[in-house]
Amino acid sequence: MCIENNINNVLSSLPKGVTLVAVSKTKPNSDLLQAYHAGQKVFGENKVQELVQKSEDLPKDIIWHMIGHLQTNKVKFIAPFVSLIHGVDSIKLLKEINKRALQNNRVIDCLLQIHIATESNKFGFDLSEVNEVINNTNEFLNIKIIGLMGMATFTDNKDQVIQEFNSLKVLFETIKNKDITTLSMGMSGDYKLAIEQGSTMVRVGSAIFGHRNK
């Protein structure tokens, strides 16, 4: 298991213009440092407490993304430093991020999480709600919605995964502008399919750091 080789393998398979978020949840600081020394600067975590702790312990030039479901009452802990929040799934959450960003004198980039999977347990807005959400948050000056994020169904059915990613890509194309530039889709098992469907940001964990203990 060599994290440096894994990073380089993933990076060499990414077309220009696709950003790698190294998903380091549950992994020790020593693993993140191996990736960091291989040149990786963008890391994604899905638990607030772990994200805060790692951001305190690790080099200050790391770019931290919150990729998991975010509870409103925890926004304040990451607002001082988080650089992108992927899983924004309610107006209430956007409002809270805006408030905490303002308190920190920052503008925080956000992705709207869109529900594309047939699985009912995934969070997110419906495809049809996106324009309304964007219009309803125009007055939130301390957030910037820079794109969309989605997770496909966990299945071996490739056609289904392709179709789900494609539905997000089609929506993304309709709202793309100078601010809305980022389409976050694809994980270890499906990032190549996601890139074929137009992903600009992949969130890869186990293919870099190995399997996680549940």
Measured from the Cβ of residue 150, the count of other Cβ atoms closer than 10 Å reads 28
Sole binder of ligand PLP in the list 72, 160, 163, 206 (CB under 6 A): 206
* Closest to 86 in 3D by CA, of 36, 150, 139: 150
CB contact at 8 A, 120 and 154: no
What residues numbered 6-45 form the site for ligand PLP, per CB under 6 A?
Answer: 23, 25
**β pairing state of 19-23 and 84-88:** unpaired
Q: Which stretch binds ligand PLP (CB under 6 A): 7-15, 100-108, 122-130, 198-206?
A: 198-206
Name which position in 58, 175, 176, 189 contacts ligand PLP (CB under 6 A). Answer: 189
Indicate the helix (H) or strand (E) that contains 21. strand 19-23
Choices 1-9, 70-78, 155-163, 205-213; region in contact with ligand PLP by CB under 6 A: 205-213
Q: State the DSSP code for 213.
A: P
Rounded Cα distance between 76 and 102, Å, is 11
Which positions from 55 to 74 touch ligand PLP by CB under 6 A, shown as an x/- string? ------------xx------
* CA angle at 141 for the pair 140 and 144, rounded to the nearest 5°: 85
User: 97 or 207, CB closer to ligand PLP?
Assistant: 207
Minimum CB separation from ligand PLP for residue 105, in Å?
28
Tracing tokens 């960091």 back to the chain, one arrives at: 36
| Closer CB to ligand PLP, 44 or 130, in the complex | 44
Only segment of 48-56, 71-79, 165-173, 200-208 that touches ligand PLP (CB under 6 A): 200-208
CA distance 93 to 71: 8
Residue nearest to ligand PLP (CB): 205
Q: Does 205 bind ligand PLP (CB under 6 A)?
A: yes
Q: Which stretch binds ligand PLP (CB under 6 A): 76-84, 118-126, 170-178, 187-195?
A: 187-195
Nearest Cα neighbor of 111 from 34, 213, 184 is 184
**3-12 helix and 29-37 helix, angle to the nearest 10 degrees:** 50
**Residue 199 interacts with ligand PLP (CB under 6 A): yes or no:** no
Residues within the interface to ligand PLP (CB under 6 A): 23, 25, 46, 67-68, 187-189, 203-207
